[in-house]
Structure 1
Amino acid sequence: MRTVRDEDGTVYVLLRESSDASLVRDPATGETAHLPNASLEPVSGESPLSVAATAVPEPVRAVLTAVHDEVTLGLLVELVDRERVSARELLEAVDLCESDLHGALSEFRAAGLIEEATVDGRRGYAVTELARQGIGTIRDDDPHDDS
């Protein structure tokens, strides 16, 4: 597999190449098509697997790459549900040692899922819109669903 771009700038994953045409997959839709080789050019520096991952909405990708197990996923869900929490309150509420909690929070900050905040005059954390959207999509939260 390789990453290619057509004349319009659309990026594809190249699946198979023949003398005249190539079978490509659009990562956004998953659809395959045969395109003339002359209309395609290689894209350097972009892994075809990373390009394929763009089929997943960016907020969900951020969550998936920041959480490593059910415990860290649960921590992020808890943070999203609380919106804002002081570091002390969070340490008392969860069953993680301080270093594991700090490591997970650092991963979340690096992924743009949380940010440092002052909560009740103490150092704490607030979730970002990226985290809300990512967890909301995973939960399948539908603001229009009245059930």
Structure 2
Amino acid sequence: MNTVEDDTGKRYLLLKRSDSASLVRDPETGNECYIRNDRLEAVDEGSPLEMAARSVGDPVLTLVTTVHDEETLGLLLELSERGPLGVRTLLDAYDCCESDLHGRLTVLSAAGLLEETEIVGERGYRVTEDCETALETIRSRTESGPETARGDS
């Protein structure tokens, strides 16, 4: 599969090419259609799999590419549910090693999922708006069940 762009700048995944038209898929909607070849141009922008991944909204894409284990996801969910928390509270409440917690907080902050704040005169963290958007998206998908999440309703 290759990435192509039509004459309006819209990008597609090329599925099949014939003499006069090509079958393409819109990575955002999944819709497939034929477009005349003279309206398409090859694009060299990463792999087709990377382009397909871009159909997921930026906040969710950042979340799934940054969070690699259940504890880190749990940390974000707890901060989302309980509001901003101080570092001491995080260390005490979740039995975390200080260096592990610091590493997680640093990675999540660098990705734009957490931001530093002050809690009762001490350093703390809260989820960002983008993180909250991503968490709401995955919560609504899992709460509605796997059939609905896949669109098989």
- Short-chain TM bin: 0.7 to 0.9
Residue identity matched to 2:57:
P
2:37 equivalent in structure 1: 37
The answer on whether the counterparts of 2:20 and 2:36 sit within 8 Å (CA) in structure 1 is yes
2:14 equivalent in structure 1: 14
Deviation at 1:45, TM superposition (A): 2.7
1:47-92 deviation per Cα after TM superposition (whole angstroms, max 9, x unaligned): 2212111222222112111110211111110111122111111111
Deviation at 1:46, TM superposition (A): 3.0
Consecutive aligned runs of 4 or more in structure 1 exceeding 4 Å deviation: none
1:48 equivalent in structure 2: 48
Residue identity matched to 2:118:
T
| Structure 1 gap segments, 5+ residues each | 142-147
| Structure 2 gap segments, 5+ residues each | 142-153
Residue identity matched to 1:94:
Y
Structure 1 SS opposite 2:34: strand
2:147 equivalent in structure 1: none
Aligned-partner Cα distance in 2 for 1:20–1:87: 62
1:63 aligns with 2:63: yes
TM-score using structure 2 length: 0.85
2:121 equivalent in structure 1: 121
1:28 equivalent in structure 2: 28
Structure 2 SS opposite 1:61: helix
Residue identity matched to 2:74:
G
Aligned-partner Cα distance in 2 for 1:136–1:6: 34
Structure 2 SS opposite 1:15: strand
Residue identity matched to 1:119:
I
2:107 equivalent in structure 1: 107
Could you tell me the percent identity over the aligned residues? Answer: 51
Aligned-partner Cα distance in 2 for 1:14–1:110: 34
Residue identity matched to 2:90:
L
Aligned-partner Cα distance in 2 for 1:91–1:110: 20
The answer on whether the counterparts of 2:90 and 2:96 sit within 8 Å (CA) in structure 1 is no
TM-score using structure 1 length: 0.88
Higher helix share: 2
Report the number of matched residues.
141
The two structures, once aligned, show a CA RMSD in angstroms of 1.6
